[in-house]
Structure 1
């Protein structure tokens, strides 16, 4: 995941990376020797907890990818071992990074089918929430869907569009698209709504909240609407956007976004919890428990 311009890295990032050096593209060899028994136990706790919770809540494509990768349940996985299967399936490769990385570096990696994964894992007192993505969020949350060819193509297309958005001053719009799809997206399936966003998949509490709570809005996917919509970084999302298929997601990113950015620059942004007349609303949230803090 890339670092927003206003992001201040927590102390844990500096502590975990003490004595390590990274290349100009922020990559480094995965420091396997740095994982402690406590780190492996933390991974195992998180992994088993989510694997028990997600069936019936997450999309089949995620579970299929997790099974095909044969992700370790008891210890932080070795990236190179996973790469053997990932490269063969979709041409993607995991690369270890120290934490959040600059936008331009992040986009270049995605455009070349390299997925940056923070190498270190949260500490036991942070099991339920960590401000900065760690290896559990990045690997468990994101990587299984990279085994799906359509989603894999979508993420590459997103990376290819990133530098153009930066040059056009439209990066906030593209960031909202990533947030509401790759991180916090829901998908319609024959068995009902399911999760595919990594920010939800890697969170015990939001995996339940996003599907079962009456609090949030659930709204049909609309590219331009999402690009105008602010989001939450300190609480559960006030709105979730729902795709009909991964093909819909990929097709929506196929056109050149330049005229879309131009048109949207003259329009007001939309609050994270707002409903607008053109929305295809699946559920209007009752707003219970919503925070009054500012949207991002």
Structure 2
């Protein structure tokens, strides 16, 4: 999990409430499980095999319920290139897949592999590892009391959201382009800008397809609530300068999304920008001192 990732509001008693009210925050057994799985990533080296996790029957059931719902919504609202790989990736419904199981499938499709994260990962490490075909993913699962919301990204977000993207050749190549850029740039500001563009595209991107808006961003692909209503956001044309200066919402549905006119448009725009980016790019894109 990289820094600054999606936290959508949870519906509690019919209302939207803060993450602090989520049942996981008051469940000692869940918090202990979360810590134990996070500790498995201590001193983990990028590319080393992830340890096997003995998931409980309840965790397997939670995975199955949410995974089936997400695939259903992806088929209705995701772009064609994403929908086409859902069957090829073939994530299971009956159990939480191990990292090695998913890595084997991704490896055959695009050459990507999962590498273990225990929680927040340094942004430079997270992005730079993509150049080598590694994506940092966690192993812990959300609390079963509210299965369609998690206050932090979990294994469902990482595998059903990012994993589906990484099975898509075009999007997997964009991950590598981003990784190459993060690896060669040196300033904190440059890495933060890469992360911001990643947020508005590979996390929350939408694309025009046959006259309709379709989702390709991982955060949308892994949220059965937001993928149904993202068309109600303010939709702006894909614009790097605008994205660089737009506030993004960590604690709720995104109020502003950026639309590519086609997947070719997305690929051409991002590849040209990242290949031409240098450490001075953030200063050139800033509209005023201190970007939001």
Q: TM-score range by the shorter chain?
A: 0.7 to 0.9
- Identify the match of residue 190 of structure 2 among 170, 179, 193: 170
Higher helix share: 2
1:264 equivalent to 2:289? Answer: no
Deviation at 1:120, TM superposition (A): 1.3
Counterpart residue number, 2:12: none
Alignment of 1:1-296 (within 5 A): 1-4=1-4, 12=31, 15-17=35-37, 20=40, 22-25=42-45, 29-165=49-185, 167=187, 169-190=189-210, 192-211=212-231, 213=232, 216-252=233-269, 253-254=271-272, 255-258=275-278, 259-265=280-286, 267=288
**Structure 1 residues not aligned, in runs of 5+:** 272-296
Between 259-268 and 124-133, the greater mean CA deviation after superposition: 259-268
User: Structure 1, residues 18-37: CA drift from partner, whole Å, max 9, x if none?
Assistant: 66353353676444343111
Cα separation, 1, equivalents of 2:230 and 2:81: 18
Q: TM-score, normalised by structure 1?
A: 0.80
Return closer, same or farther for 1:164/1:227 CA change in 2, 3 Å cut-off: farther
Cα separation, 2, equivalents of 1:35 and 1:190: 42
CA RMSD in angstroms comes to 2.7
**Structure 2 residues not aligned, in runs of 5+:** 8-23, 26-30
Deviation at 1:208, TM superposition (A): 1.2
Aligned length: 265
Counterpart residue number, 1:284: none
Cα separation, 2, equivalents of 1:59 and 1:29: 32
Between 96-105 and 28-37, the greater mean CA deviation after superposition: 28-37
Greater relative contact order structure (CA < 8 Å, 6+ sep): 2
